[in-house]
Amino acid sequence: MTSRTSLAARLAALLPDLSPWRSSADFRLLWVQGIVTYFGSFMALIALPLQIKDLTGSPLAVGAMGAVELVPLVLCGLYGGALADAADRRKIILATEAGLGLLALVLLVNAALPDPMLWPLYGVAAGVSALAGLQRPALDSLIARIVPHDQLPAAAALNSLRWQAGAIMGPSLAGLVVAYAGHATAYSITVVTFAASVLMCRGLAPAPPAETGRKPSLRGIVEGARYAWSRPVLLGTYAIDMAAMFFAFPNAIFPFLADELDADWSLGLMYAAGSVGSLVLGLTSGWTSRVRRHGLFVVFGAAVWGLSIAAAGWFGDVWLVLVCLGFAGAGDMLSGLGRSTIWNQTIPEELRGRLAGIEVLSYSVGPQLGQVRAGGMAGWTGTRPAIWTGGVACVASVALLAAALPKLLTYDSETDEDALRRRARGAAGPAVEPAA
């Protein structure tokens, strides 16, 4: 009996830590809202490149989405970070969710035309990128306010789990919906999910700026950038993620990989496979709440991502490709847990929005440029070489950056000065539910 009890205890320790869900009503609401939003977003995320592929037949045209999205993301991400430090974050989230829903409606109207046009697809892609850049800093910086400091690693794991659930359901169903019901049906689902999301966000508590908050300005943005530049640990998280995504983010050319492998049926699974791997890691993430060396998560996870993407491009069997993409997703989630935890543990509240803006660029610009790289290289070398060479380059760049920024590898939440300072300041900060 004792051995059985011990085994049960060890298995229970692997399960996700639900303490943020129990302690914060706003965290629960955001978690559920995120499931709904991610489902609709991924539905459109798959339908949009598929529609461009259907209209043009060009991998470069699909990869060009990354170039179209890049400038709005950079400008609005930086401004959105400054805005999150100066305005009510709840209002920012509400306004941008409504805007994203309207853009989904534009896609629906265009898809319903007898001859859908190409240019609105790029216009909406740019608009979505701009609104996401404005919204993400407010969303990301809100977590450190509504969740107690000692529960931040658990919150990062639960948020990643939420993201992966949407990333699995959305792409898996999107491929089927587009194939059997058309692009318009996929966009209709997206519109409905954003309408539901806006209604849920109205239930969030107000999140006014800190007393030291100032109006958004270029000076404030520069102040945030200087802080980030002066912290090698933060620089390491940004640089490694951007390098990994730039070299090894081949999602834009998955439709062409499915064609090359003579497995059109596998496209939705390709988009979802990484999320399955992430979900498996998330469901066994309880142990991550007891880890202090989160910089190791960032480096090791990014290396696993690169190796797995390289293997996915090398193998010619579609089932092996899907398995490799699953391992890539697990590595990406591990790296993401490390990044999110370090950011929330070390950045002071008065700079949280501006640094969240920089974080948006670090995990968004890389994939946008990665789409351009993958699409352009696929047109030159072929689809599979574009994938496996990118994976190899990812591993090499992660190794070089880890060597150049050793403080990331030695980061310890119990000894790092910024983490200790943030813990002391946040001891009475996060708003949690009172005991019943």
Q: Under 8 Å CB-to-CB from 350, ≥6 apart: which residues?
A: 85, 210, 212, 213
Identify which of 318, 241, 255, 271 has the alpha carbon closest to the alpha carbon of residue 60.
255
Q: Under 8 Å CB-to-CB from 151, ≥6 apart: which residues?
A: 17, 19, 20, 23
pLDDT of residue 2: 55
- Asked if the model's pLDDT at residue 434 lies above 50, the reply is no
Question: Does pTM surpass 0.95?
Answer: no
Here the tokens at position 265 are 């049926």
- pLDDT tens-digit map of 362-407: 777 788 788 888 888 887 888 899 999 999 999 999 999 999 999 9
Which run of H or E residues covers position 99? helix 89-111
Residue 78 — pLDDT band, cuts 50, 70, 90? confident
- pLDDT top residue among 404 and 416: 404
- Asked if the model's pLDDT at residue 3 lies above 70, the reply is no
Please tell me the distance from the alpha carbon of residue 346 to that of residue 184, in angstroms, as a whole number: 44
pLDDT of residue 429: 43
pLDDT of residue 391: 94
3-state helix, strand, coil in the chain (%, to 5): 85, 0, 15
Q: Under 8 Å CB-to-CB from 152, ≥6 apart: which residues?
A: 143, 144, 341, 344, 345
Average pLDDT of the chain is 83
Here the tokens at position 16 are 């996700």
Residue 70's identity, in one-letter code, is L
How many CB atoms within 10 Å of residue 420? 14
* pLDDT above 70 as % of the chain: 92
- Asked if the model's pLDDT at residue 317 lies above 80, the reply is yes
Q: Determine contact, residues 183/50, Cβ cutoff 8 Å.
A: yes
Here the tokens at position 247 are 């070299």
Of the CA atoms within 13 Å of residue 241, those in its CB half-sphere come to: 29
* pLDDT above 90 as % of the chain: 29
